[in-house]
């Protein structure tokens, strides 16, 4: 490489977005493509990749592993659910767990993952650890996809200030041929296919140097069923769990019940409000009194349709307003949350005031007026 040309580049190479963000974006794109449910990040360090991945709605299980507990613990609290997660529980379930241990050791908690990411990890491994790594990740964990990224040493001359390695903890840095031959051999041994790519484009005229970060994406060639994995591979637990967060989810009956009760009351209140305003409007007309009258806005139009088509009319009797459960059930959000009418009845039983036959939500107008 021409020394002057090279020196010129070392002054200006600055990745935008920064390289670590490009690596994380690469993983996110892969998650969006393959939609894995269970993802493990090996060598997760300060959990920044996990923090990004928890927003991918397909993921239900996220795990991090690192040999350095202190670096993981620094920001692990940022993986905890936020108040908004409790106020509006998500439809998916999500569990985030952090383990302290080495990728050179097998632990049953690492079984059953769909995607395993090893971002800038392998170059931190001592030789004996690197030797055990393929058997642990590809032989034991055996996920459908493994992503491995590592520095490409051919790019180093273009980076300012890099003498031997990019980081003092690196035990080696491979050129493209070295990484590819290790990856191809690993893939062959454990029945995976591998494709190479990278992030951090080389400058024009320096394409031969390759990407600054080289990446191998490994895809398992043989099928594997989740249930059989655990029993086939008995191993003792060696990792220490240092963090676990179970996010509130509508899959959990107690959060579903709260969400359904709030939605039922909210829907019933709106219907009641419309009914009361119509009631006031037509108050003197005995023909129209107590009847719901459709108006121009879409909520009322929708209600009007239900009333006409399905005879699910809310009505007033004495000081009570009755809003049929069937009417409330036909509203999309209530319907989606409960699935069946029976489930709606079960979830609100004893929690919402109903008519004596249980067919309608009941409000006392007098009582409400007093409160107002």
The answer to whether 20 contacts ligand SAH (rule: CB under 6 A) is yes
- What SS3 state is found at 344? helix
**Choice from 30, 45, 217, 323 touching ligand SAH (CB under 6 A):** 45
The answer to whether 71 contacts ligand SAH (rule: CB under 6 A) is yes
Q: What is the C-alpha to C-alpha distance for residues 104 and 102, in angstroms, rounded to an integer? A: 5
Residue pair 314/362 in contact (Cβ under 8 Å)? The answer is no
Nearest-10 crossing angle of helices 341-348, 253-281: 90
Based on CB atoms, which residue is closest to ligand SAH, 68 or 326?
A: 68
Query: DSSP string spanning 74-140?
Result: HTGGGGSPPHHHHHS-BSS--EEEEEE--TTS--GGGTT-SEEEEET-GGGS-HHHHHHHHIIIIII
The answer to whether 214 contacts ligand SAH (rule: CB under 6 A) is no
Based on CB atoms, which residue is closest to ligand SAH, 62 or 360?
A: 62
CA dihedral 80, 84, 85, 91 (to 10 degrees): -160
The answer to whether 67 contacts ligand SAH (rule: CB under 6 A) is yes
Distance of closest approach, residue 117 Cβ to ligand SAH, in angstroms: 8
- What SS3 state is found at 147? strand
Alpha-carbon distance values, 293 to 141, 218, 289 (Å): 63, 63, 10
The backbone torsions φ and ψ at residue 361, rounded to the nearest 5 degrees and listed phi first, read: -80, 140
Could you give the string, one character per residue 218-257, with x where binding to ligand SAH holds by CB under 6 A and - elsewhere? ----------------------------------------
Based on CB atoms, which residue is closest to ligand SAH, 94 or 119?
A: 119
Distance of closest approach, residue 261 Cβ to ligand SAH, in angstroms: 43
**Choice from 13, 58, 68, 130 touching ligand SAH (CB under 6 A):** 68
Q: Tell me, by CB under 6 A, how many residues bind ligand SAH.
A: 21
- In the region spanning residues 96 to 125, those forming contacts with ligand SAH, defined by CB under 6 A, are 102-104, 119-121, 124-125
The answer to whether 142 contacts ligand SAH (rule: CB under 6 A) is no
Query: Who's near 293: CB < 8 A, 6+ residues apart?
Result: 278, 281, 282, 304
Query: Who's near 83: CB < 8 A, 6+ residues apart?
Result: none
**Choice from 60, 129, 135, 368 touching ligand SAH (CB under 6 A):** 129
Could you give the string, one character per residue 47-66, with x where binding to ligand SAH holds by CB under 6 A and - elsewhere? -xx---------------xx
Q: What is the C-alpha to C-alpha distance for residues 255 and 300, in angstroms, rounded to an integer? A: 30
**CA angle, 303 then 90 then 298, to 5°:** 15
Distance of closest approach, residue 65 Cβ to ligand SAH, in angstroms: 6
The answer to whether 30 contacts ligand SAH (rule: CB under 6 A) is no
The residues of the shown chain that bind ligand SAH, judged by CB under 6 A, are 20, 23, 43-45, 48-49, 65-68, 71, 102-104, 119-121, 124-125, 129
């Amino acid at each position: 490489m021409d020394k002057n040309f090279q020196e010129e580049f070392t002054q200006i190479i600055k990745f935008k977005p920064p390289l670590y963000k490009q690596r994380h974006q690469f993983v996110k794109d892969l998650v969006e493509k393959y939609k894995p449910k269970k993802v493990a990040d090996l060598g997760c360090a300060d959990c920044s990749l996990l923090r990004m991945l928890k927003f991918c709605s397909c993921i239900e299980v996220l795990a991090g592993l690192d040999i350095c507990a202190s670096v993981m613990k620094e920001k692990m609290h940022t993986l905890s659910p936020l108040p908004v997660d409790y106020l509006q529980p998500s439809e998916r379930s999500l569990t985030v767990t952090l383990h302290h241990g080495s990728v050179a050791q097998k632990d049953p908690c690492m079984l059953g993952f769909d995607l395993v990411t090893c971002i800038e990890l392998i170059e931190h491994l001592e030789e004996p650890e690197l030797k055990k790594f393929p058997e642990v990740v590809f032989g034991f964990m055996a996920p459908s996809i493994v992503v491995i990224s590592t520095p490409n040493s051919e790019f180093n001359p273009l980076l300012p200030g890099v003498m031997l390695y990019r980081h003092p903890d690196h035990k080696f840095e491979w050129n493209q041929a070295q990484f590819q031959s290790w990856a191809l051999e690993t893939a062959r041994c454990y029945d995976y296919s591998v494709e190479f790519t990278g992030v951090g484009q080389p400058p024009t005229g320096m394409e031969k140097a390759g990407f600054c970060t080289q990446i191998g994406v490994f895809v398992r060639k043989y099928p594997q069923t989740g249930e059989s994995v655990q029993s086939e591979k008995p191993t003792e637990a060696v990792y220490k769990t240092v963090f676990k967060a179970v996010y509130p989810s509508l899959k959990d009956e107690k959060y579903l019940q709260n969400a359904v009760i709030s939605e039922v009351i909210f829907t019933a209140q709106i219907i009641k409000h419309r009914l009361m305003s119509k009631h006031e409007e037509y108050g003197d007309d005995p023909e129209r009194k107590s009847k719901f009258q459709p108006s121009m806005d879409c909520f009322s139009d929708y209600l009007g349709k239900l009333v006409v088509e399905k005879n699910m009319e809310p009505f007033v009797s004495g000081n009570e307003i009755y809003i049929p459960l069937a009417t409330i059930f036909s509203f999309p959000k209530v319907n989606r949350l409960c699935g069946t009418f029976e489930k709606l009845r079960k979830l609100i039983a004893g929690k919402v005031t109903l008519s004596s036959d249980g067919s309608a939500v009941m409000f006392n107008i007098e009582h409400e007026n007093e409160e107002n």
